[in-house]
Structure 1
C-alpha cells in the first residue's frame, strides 16, 4: 500500500515515515504544507494520505481544507487526519461529505504502531476510522444536545441569561417574573441536565457549559 505523509514537524514526519516503512508500507512521498501536499497527491496518487490537521502558514485548518480538496479531486485516495488535540468539528466536517476511506486519529494514538498500521490499512480499504476519544466527545455533545431539547422555552431563556453571567435577580428583572419563579426554572434546568448537588462542582457553571456545547 502506497502512502504519503504531510506533517510540518520534521521529527514527527520522519518518525512516521520510518514506522510506516517498517510496517511494510511504501512511502510514496512526504510534504510539510498543504500546497505541497496537493501537488504530491496529484502526482503520485497514493492509496492513503496521512495529513496533520494544522499545517503552515496559519496552523489552523489547512490540513482539513486540503483533505476536502483531495476527496473532491481523487475520491479513491483515503485520508487519515492526525491531530494533537480533539477537534470534533473538523472530523464531522470531512466525514459528513463521505465517511468512506476517512480516518481521524490523535497523535498520541500513533505511538501504538499496530493501531497506526491498522488505521492506514482500513482507510485504504475504504473503511472509516475515528479515534475513540473523538467518538466519546461527539457522544457527550449529542447527550448534551438531547438534554437541552427537554428544556421548555422559558427554561432555555433562563439558561441563556445564565450563560451571559446574569444573577437570578437580574434574570427575574429581564423576564419580568418573580425571584421564586426564576429559582424554580433554574432547579428544573439542573434536574433535566442531570446536574445533582455537589460539594466539588458548580452546577451553574456546568449548566452553562452544556448550553454552550449544545
Structure 2
C-alpha cells in the first residue's frame, strides 16, 4: 500500500516541522510544507497530496485564511482531503466548511491531539473520504443559544448520542464508548433523527452531514 501523501500549511515553523517529523516516523510522505495558504491551489495541483493539513489563522490577516483555503481546495480538488488543525474553535466557519466540503474533511484542535497515532488515524479517515470533527467543536455548536431550539426535543442521553454522531462515530463505536448495546444505540439514533426531521441512514458520513446541516441551520437562526 502506497504511503499517504500530505501537505502541511502552518505559519509556525517549529509546529510545522514537528508535525512533519511525527508523520514521517509513521510512514506518511510529507510532500510539501508552506508557511501560508496564498496561491495554494497550483501547489496542490502540482504535488497531488492525499490530504492537506492547514492551520486556521495564517498570514496575511491571521483570521480564517486556513478555512478559506480549505474551502477552495475542496471546490477545485474534491478528491483531496482537508484537515484543519487549529488552536481555536471557529464554530460558524467550521460547520460551513464541513457542510460545503461534503466528504474528506476534518477539524481538530491541536492541544487535544495527545498521540501522533490519533493524528495519523484522522488523516487516514479524511483521505478515505470520511469526516473527523473535534468534540469541542461539536460541543460549541450544541451550546450555541437559539431562539427556537429543536434540540430541546431530545433527552439528555439522546443529546449525548447526537454529539458522538456529529463527531463521526458509527453506532457500533458509540455503543462501545457508552458501554451499551448496538441495538440500544440504533433505537436512540432513530428517535433522534425522527425528532429532528432528519433522514435515517446507516452511512456514517451521511449521518454526520445531516446532523451538521441541522446544526448549521440552528447556528444561522441564532446569529
Query: Shorter chain as normaliser: what TM range?
Result: 0.5 to 0.7
Structure 1's 137 and 46: CA in aligned 2 closer, same or farther, altered over 3 A? same
Are residues 1:51 and 2:54 paired? yes
Are residues 1:93 and 2:96 paired? yes
In 2, are the aligned partners of 1:109 and 1:115 still within 8 Å (CA)?
no
In the alignment of these two chains, the number of paired residues is 153
1:90-135 Cα deviation digits (max 9, x unpaired)? 2111112133100000011234212111110000000000001111
Partner of 2:110: 107
CA displacement at 1:23 relative to structure 2: 1.2
Please provide the CA RMSD for this pair: 2.4
1:116-163 Cα deviation digits (max 9, x unpaired)? 11110000000000001111111122777518999xxxxxxxxxxxxx
In 2, are the aligned partners of 1:6 and 1:37 still within 8 Å (CA)?
no
In 2, are the aligned partners of 1:109 and 1:116 still within 8 Å (CA)?
no
Structure 1's 145 and 22: CA in aligned 2 closer, same or farther, altered over 3 A? farther
Take 1:38 and 1:26, find their aligned partners in 2: how far apart are those partners? 19
1:11-52 Cα deviation digits (max 9, x unpaired)? 000001001111111001010111253332121111000000
Take 1:48 and 1:120, find their aligned partners in 2: how far apart are those partners? 7
In 2, are the aligned partners of 1:48 and 1:123 still within 8 Å (CA)?
yes
**5+ long unaligned stretches in structure 2:** 154-220
Q: Which runs of 4+ in 1 moved over 6 A?
A: 147-150
Structure 1's 149 and 110: CA in aligned 2 closer, same or farther, altered over 3 A? closer
Partner of 1:9: 12
Q: Which has the larger radius of gyration?
A: 1
Partner of 1:41: 44
Are residues 1:29 and 2:35 paired? no
Partner of 1:84: 87
Structure 1's 43 and 20: CA in aligned 2 closer, same or farther, altered over 3 A? same
Take 1:135 and 1:33, find their aligned partners in 2: how far apart are those partners? 27
- SS at 2:62 equivalent: coil
Take 1:149 and 1:133, find their aligned partners in 2: how far apart are those partners? 20
Of 97-106 and 7-16, deviating more is 97-106
Take 2:96 and 2:151, find their aligned partners in 1: how far apart are those partners? 23
